[in-house]
């Protein structure tokens, strides 16, 4: 497939924008965190073409392999045919299609909530919902390893922000006790699954604690939705607190094989978001093919529960095989599996050597993870075969045994 690429044209004299960009890029290079984008071809699948080479993909979030599931593709194509490729407006101005309302009713039913509301992305959902609920005089409480979109949502509110050490329930209680008397509303914004470590928030302890101190719980379950829990409802279901989480935020772009995101909760929450979440109000509604793909994915999720079981079996197998090779994957308990190497350059070198051997395992550096904890981040899919997972573990063990 010959597709055009962005060709670099050298300017005659450096413009101001290029001077600024060059200075900032030099600083990024000095920190060893300069990034470039790899080019992939074909549908997201266990095996795909990365930078021109066919490799096994252990770096995606299409966990259940739904993005190219025949029913999902067919529903999406039919929607493009019947509804066109764009909603062409915000939900409040001409963009609110019956399709959106149908997906939202189905998401609410899936999650057992009164309502759901879709957003452009999970990032947009967090930067919309946090300022909508927490304003001046309020406080947002959040974990030190919160996803960037929770952090950015906090930056957009005039509320105070209190951060507690990662997963530390006692420290969280101290914060909740302090803010209960000094702030009007307390919003606890949490990841369900930590996207770089693969551990889950201790929700069975945290959610009752939050209730005791009168805090509202916002659960960002981007990696849990569809992937965890008996019915795939996510980390809340896994931890037995799904009915007491106030706000369920999830993405359609990971396990659900589509694009977009949602916030699920009460009728009044939805009404508030429609009336005040800026990333909802001032942005186009989801495109019909994405909406239809997500609806079909929800049906497949229900009809093919083996996908969720196989995903977790594959993750368990990969962690066990790495452990047999003496490689720690702590603290992962999910399909996100870190192999911490530490040094930025060595991590990226191992990543390149694995690619040359036919495995795409993404190297992750600061600022996605704390300085000095660069790592390979492995994400198996439900449809990887056991031999493929074993081959990956073996290749990683060989590469880590090499001198740095």
Ligand X SMILES: *Cc1c(COP(=O)(O)O)cnc(C)c1O
Active site residues: 195, 223, 254
Region from 116-124, 240-248, 353-361, 372-380 binding ligand X, contact rule CB under 6 A: 116-124
Pairwise CA distance, residues 361 & 223, whole Å = 18
Residue 336 beta carbon to ligand X: minimum distance, rounded to whole angstroms = 9
Pairwise CA distance, residues 230 & 117, whole Å = 23
Region from 36-44, 100-108, 110-118, 121-129 binding ligand X, contact rule CB under 6 A: 121-129
Instruction: Check if the beta carbon of residue 135 is closer than 8 Å to that of residue 157.
Output: yes
Sole binder of ligand X in the list 247, 261, 264, 298 (CB under 6 A): 261
Q: What residues contact 103, with CB distance under 8 A and at least 6 apart?
A: 116, 118, 291, 294, 295
> Between 167 and 253, whose beta carbon lies closer to ligand X?
253
Residue 149 beta carbon to ligand X: minimum distance, rounded to whole angstroms = 5
Q: What is the dihedral of CA 386, 356, 336, 247, to 10 degrees?
A: -120
> Between 108 and 189, whose beta carbon lies closer to ligand X?
189
Backbone torsion region of residue 198, taken as left when φ is above 0, otherwise alpha when ψ lies between -120 and 50, otherwise beta: left
Residues between 35 and 74 that touch ligand X (CB under 6 A): none
Helix (H, G, I), strand (E, B) or coil at 55: strand
Residues between 147 and 176 that touch ligand X (CB under 6 A): 147, 149
Instruction: Check if the beta carbon of residue 56 is closer than 8 Å to that of residue 358.
Output: yes
Question: How many chain residues touch ligand X (CB under 6 A)?
Answer: 13
Pairwise CA distance, residues 87 & 84, whole Å = 8
Q: Is 334 in the site for ligand X (CB under 6 A)?
A: no
Sole binder of ligand X in the list 104, 138, 143, 191 (CB under 6 A): 191
Beta bridge partners of 218: 189, 247
Instruction: Check if the beta carbon of residue 97 is closer than 8 Å to that of residue 89.
Output: no
Residue 121 beta carbon to ligand X: minimum distance, rounded to whole angstroms = 3
Pairwise CA distance, residues 55 & 37, whole Å = 16
Task: Tell me the residue nearest to ligand X as measured from the CB.
Answer: 122
Residue 9 beta carbon to ligand X: minimum distance, rounded to whole angstroms = 31
Total Cβ atoms within 10 A of residue 33:
16
Site string for ligand X, 365-394 (x = CB under 6 A): ------------------------------
Burial (0-12, 13-18, 19+ Cβ within 10 Å), 358: middle
Sole binder of ligand X in the list 62, 248, 251, 335 (CB under 6 A): 251
Residues between 202 and 241 that touch ligand X (CB under 6 A): 220, 222-223
Residue 272 beta carbon to ligand X: minimum distance, rounded to whole angstroms = 20
> Between 223 and 384, whose beta carbon lies closer to ligand X?
223
> Between 191 and 388, whose beta carbon lies closer to ligand X?
191
Pairwise CA distance, residues 398 & 188, whole Å = 43
Residue 122 beta carbon to ligand X: minimum distance, rounded to whole angstroms = 2
Pairwise CA distance, residues 207 & 201, whole Å = 10
Sole binder of ligand X in the list 60, 122, 128, 236 (CB under 6 A): 122
Residue 195 beta carbon to ligand X: minimum distance, rounded to whole angstroms = 4
Pairwise CA distance, residues 97 & 86, whole Å = 11
Sole binder of ligand X in the list 62, 113, 118, 121 (CB under 6 A): 121
- CA-CA-CA-CA torsion sign (106, 111, 115, 118): negative
Q: How far is CA 398 from the centre of its chain?
A: 30
Q: Is 338 in the site for ligand X (CB under 6 A)?
A: no
> Between 122 and 363, whose beta carbon lies closer to ligand X?
122
> Between 115 and 200, whose beta carbon lies closer to ligand X?
200
Residues that bind ligand X (CB under 6 A): 121-123, 147, 149, 191, 195, 220, 222-223, 251, 253, 261
């Amino acid at each position: 497939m010959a597709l055009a690429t962005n060709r670099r044209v050298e300017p005659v004299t450096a413009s101001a924008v290029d001077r600024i960009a060059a200075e900032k890029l030099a600083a990024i290079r000095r920190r060893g965190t300069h990034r470039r984008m790899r080019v992939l071809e074909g549908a997201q699948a266990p095996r795909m073409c990365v930078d021109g080479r066919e490799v096994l993909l252990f770096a995606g979030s299409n966990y259940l392999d739904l993005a190219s599931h025949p029913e999902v593709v067919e529903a999406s194509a039919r929607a493009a045919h019947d509804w066109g490729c764009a909603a062409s407006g915000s939900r409040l101005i001409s963009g609110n299609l019956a399709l959106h309302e149908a997906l939202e009713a189905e998401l609410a039913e899936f999650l057992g909530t009164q309502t759901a509301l879709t957003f452009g992305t999970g990032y947009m959902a967090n930067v919309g919902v946090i300022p909508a609920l927490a304003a001046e005089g309020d406080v947002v409480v959040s974990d030190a390893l919160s996803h960037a979109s929770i952090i950015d949502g906090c930056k957009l509110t005039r509320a105070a922000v209190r951060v507690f050490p990662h997963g530390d329930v006692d420290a969280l209680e101290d914060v909740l006790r302090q803010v209960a008397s000094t702030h009007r509303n307390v919003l606890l914004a949490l990841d369900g699954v930590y996207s770089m470590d693969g551990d889950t928030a201790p929700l069975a302890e945290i959610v009752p604690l939050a209730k005791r101190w009168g805090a509202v719980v916002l659960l960002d379950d981007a990696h849990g939705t569809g992937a965890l829990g008996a019915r795939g409802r996510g980390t809340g279901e896994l931890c037995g607190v799904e009915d007491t989480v106030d706000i369920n935020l999830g993405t359609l772009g990971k396990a659900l094989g589509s694009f977009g995101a949602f916030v699920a909760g009460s009728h009044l929450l939805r009404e508030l978001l429609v009336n005040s979440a800026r990333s909802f109000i001032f942005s186009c509604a989801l495109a019909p093919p994405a909406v239809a793909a997500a609806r079909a994915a929800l049906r497949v999720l229900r009809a093919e529960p083996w996908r969720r079981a196989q995903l977790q079996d594959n993750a368990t197998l990969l962690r066990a095989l790495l452990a047999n090779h003496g490689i720690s994957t702590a603290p992962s308990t999910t399909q996100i599996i870190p192999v911490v190497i530490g040094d930025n350059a060595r991590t990226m070198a191992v990543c390149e050597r694995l690619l040359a051997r036919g495995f795409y395992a993404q190297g992750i550096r600061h600022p996605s993870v704390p300085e000095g904890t660069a790592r390979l981040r492995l994400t198996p899919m439900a449809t990887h075969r056991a031999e493929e997972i074993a081959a990956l573990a073996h290749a990683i063990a060989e590469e880590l045994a090499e001198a740095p």
